[in-house]
């Protein structure tokens, strides 16, 4: 006895509903048959995960198709592996550059455009490098340096206040950049506020490695900021012991080394600064230069009516920028 196909019986059954169901079922069967045929030709195209595609490629009768699909997958896989290996940035930067570790401490470089880089690379050693610094207020200045082909770099040693630990970190960064990155052996230094303690301390220990120093309302005297009690932990001592060591530990007490070496200096400082008082810091540094017959190497701009603030004139000082660019580019 010959039995008809179920679709035939359904289509011949009376009523429009049965006819519609038969047509729908027939279309589904046809699509399934087409998918089966396509899978047999190229199962890779229908595998929607890397594991499925790998299994499909092993079964594929068409090596070229397998290679093409592998080529399409590889860039995404490479990028995922690269992103995973890179992890989060060591430090957020205000301008194009890179962040990395030097002796397990966060460091950074702001880079000029490739066509403006040089060998050796002129650069500026910046302080204080902390999670918040350099910040957006300094962006204009740093951009001028980059436009002139000068890199900017720094290392975060925490609140070091010019201590031996802080200067050791700056030395490690200096050696890394000069010995491994082709940077100039004589950078210009840039200290903002307490960064003055950082750069002056390093410069006092390395006067032959300094092309010049620029500073915005810098600290040179530990007693004025942050004070001996706050600074003592960075020096790994007590406030009493630090007070006894000030002649050697306090940068302003050793500033004659910079004046004798005739290290060029350019400073801008407000005359009503109550956080970092002008007389005990920048003015005293200028007096030390004058006493050493090196006044021609000191440029101190005192701004009337300005304190320790974000006044734009501090951060858009063309004088400081011009000095820094010239000194950084000095062989």
Mean pLDDT throughout 31-46? 39
Greater confidence (177 vs 34) lies with: 177
Instruction: Quote the number of domains for the chain.
Output: 2
pLDDT at 3 over 60: no
pLDDT tens track for 225-242: 999 999 999 999 999 999
Domain shared by 131 and 270, yes or no: yes
101: in domain: yes
> Which range of residues forms the domain containing residue 258?
97-328
CB 107 within 8 A of CB 173: yes
Model confidence at 33, pLDDT cuts 50, 70, 90, reads very low
The pLDDT assigned to 90 comes to 84
91: in domain: no
Supply φ then ψ for residue 214, to 5 degrees: -120, 155
102: in domain: yes
The pLDDT assigned to 2 comes to 46
pLDDT tens track for 160-186: 999 999 999 999 999 999 999 999 999
Residue with tokens 């580019």: 329
Q: Where a domain ends, among 19, 53, 86?
A: 86
Least confident segment among 27-41, 95-109, 116-130: 27-41
The verdict on pTM exceeding 0.85 is no
CATH of the domain at 133: 3.40.50.1820
Q: What is the DSSP letter of 276?
A: S
Supply φ then ψ for residue 7, to 5 degrees: -65, -35
Closest CA to 224 of 275, 283, 164: 275
């Amino acid at each position: 006895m010959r039995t008809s196909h179920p679709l035939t019986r359904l289509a011949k059954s009376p009523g429009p509903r049965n006819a519609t169901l038969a047509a729908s079922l027939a279309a589904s069967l046809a699509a399934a048959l087409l998918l089966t045929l396509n899978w047999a030709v190229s199962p890779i195209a229908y595998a929607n995960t890397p594991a499925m595609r790998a299994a499909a490629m092993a079964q594929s009768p068409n090596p070229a198709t397998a290679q093409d699909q592998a080529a399409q997958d590889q860039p995404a896989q490479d990028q995922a592996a690269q992103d995973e290996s890179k992890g989060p940035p060591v430090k957020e930067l205000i301008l194009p550059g890179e962040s990395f570790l030097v002796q397990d401490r966060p460091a950074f470089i702001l880079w000029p455009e490739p066509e403006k880089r040089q060998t050796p690379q002129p650069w500026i050693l910046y302080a204080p490098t902390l999670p918040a610094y350099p910040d957006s207020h300094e962006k204009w200045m740093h951009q001028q340096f980059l436009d002139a082909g000068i890199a900017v770099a720094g290392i975060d040693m925490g609140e070091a206040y010019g201590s031996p630990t802080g200067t050791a970190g700056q030395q490690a960064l200096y050696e890394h950049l000069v010995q491994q990155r082709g940077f100039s052996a004589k950078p210009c230094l840039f200290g903002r506020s307490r960064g003055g303690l950082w750069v002056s301390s390093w410069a006092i220990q390395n006067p032959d490695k300094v092309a010049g120093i620029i500073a915005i309302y810098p600290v040179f005297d530990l007693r004025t900021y942050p004070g001996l009690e706050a600074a003592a932990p960075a020096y790994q001592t007590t406030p009493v012991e630090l007070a006894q060591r000030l002649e050697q530990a306090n940068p302003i007490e050793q500033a004659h080394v910079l004046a004798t070496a005739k290290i060029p200096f350019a400073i801008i400082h407000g005359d009503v600064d109550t956080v970092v008082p002008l007389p005990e810091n920048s003015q005293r540094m200028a007096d030390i230069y004058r006493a050493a017959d090196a006044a021609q190497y000191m440029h101190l701009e005192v701004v009337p009516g300005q304190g320790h603030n974000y006044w734009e004139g501090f951060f858009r000082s063309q004088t400081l920028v011009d000095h820094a660019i010239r000194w950084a580019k000095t062989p």
